[in-house]
Amino acid sequence: MLKDLPLADDKQYILAIKKRIVALKKEKKAIIVAHNYERPEIQDIADILGDSLELSRAVTKVAAKVVVFCGVHFMAETASILNPHKKILIPVKEAGCPMADMIDLKGLLKLKKASPGVPVVCYVNSSAEVKAESDVCCTSSNALDIVASLPDKKIIFVPDRNLGSYIQTKLPEKDILLWEGFCPTHMRIAEEEIITCKKQHPKAKFMAHPECPQRLLKHADYIGSTSGMLKYSKSTKAKEIIVGTERGMIHRLKRENPGKKFYSPSEHFICADMKLTTLGWLLHSLENMVYEVKVSEKIRKKSVEALNKMLKCMPASNKKTKETKREKR
């Protein structure tokens, strides 16, 4: 119990919590997975770290029957859809994604009715109900490949208008109908902040997540998902990199690239929902086996089709178009 932990200095308290988490994990035969935007201490204690696609796939492969998902609700829900026989727990049930909440079933059905027969590509940052009404899902690492793989010219893309617009610039032959959703974390960054940061670090490359609006992407040397950013950071000769995504990412980038410097262009590059999970909540989750994320079997069966279609598309499509790399030489 939390109340039994020593109330000494912070360091002693944190060590005691960590020890307890590790012991409980073993006792309950659980694993901890965490998104790249989580707090550093959560990233450090996780068994698997990654972006939403990597985590969805990893959960499918692990033998553990209990998975504590440190991330936001749609991620744990996706893991549950793909792994109905595993217990998927989220430490903070309020950890949601404002972008995912910007689209609902009613809105999507209305859009589909207005554009009959047009396939729906759904970014995984969405509810199970929305996925269930979509033809195929995508993540920021494979969105370009998924849209490119569809034979149709006209495509509905939900809910992220920034990711959808970015794909449209890369695939001008497509006619993409966008939903007006966005990520507030990437949206709130001003162009001026990028310009100022570049001036402060003139040798640095700028990498940006495709959830950023065009006003930021136009300054990028590299555009890609968080897993793409990790690969780019390792492969580029640049020793300094400006990170155009949530600040939590910098912890992992620094850990895996000790010889390089990483800068955030803004102190506002923080997703409040991703920061809700603390060591205390993680311990609470393992101790009480809460909060389980489940969807009804009817919705699960429909939404798993869109997710499986995405996963099936991946190996072949990955060979075709890698994430945009346009490093200036």
* Contact footprint for ligand SF4 (CB under 6 A): 37, 72, 97-99, 125, 183-185, 211, 246, 271, 273-274
Cβ closer to ligand SF4: 51 or 221?
Answer: 51
Contact 328, 153 (CB under 8 A): no
Smallest gap from residue 246 Cβ to ligand SF4 (A): 5
3-state class (DSSP) for residue 144: helix
Nearer of residues 159 and 310 to ligand SF4, judged by Cβ: 159
Pick the closer one to ligand SF4 by CB: 66 or 72: 72
Q: How far is the CB of 50 from ligand SF4 (least distance, A)?
A: 14
The CB-of-94 to ligand SF4 minimum distance in angstroms stands at 13
Residue 286 Cα distances to 84, 164, 302, angstroms: 19, 38, 30
Q: How far is the CB of 36 from ligand SF4 (least distance, A)?
A: 10
Report the run of H or E that residue 33 belongs to, with start and end: strand 30-35
Residue number, 66 or 97, with CB nearest to ligand SF4: 97
- The residues, ordered by sequence, that sit 6+ positions from 95 with a Cβ below 8 Å of its Cβ are 71, 72, 73, 273, 274, 276, 277
CB atoms within 10 A of CB 143: 25
Residue 206 CB, shortest distance to ligand SF4, in Å, is 18
Q: Which is nearer to ligand SF4, 138 or 183 (CB)?
A: 183
Q: Based on the number of CB atoms within 10 Å of its own CB, is 289 exposed (0-12), middle (13-18) or buried (19 or more)?
A: middle
User: 248 near 209, Cβ under 8 Å?
Assistant: no
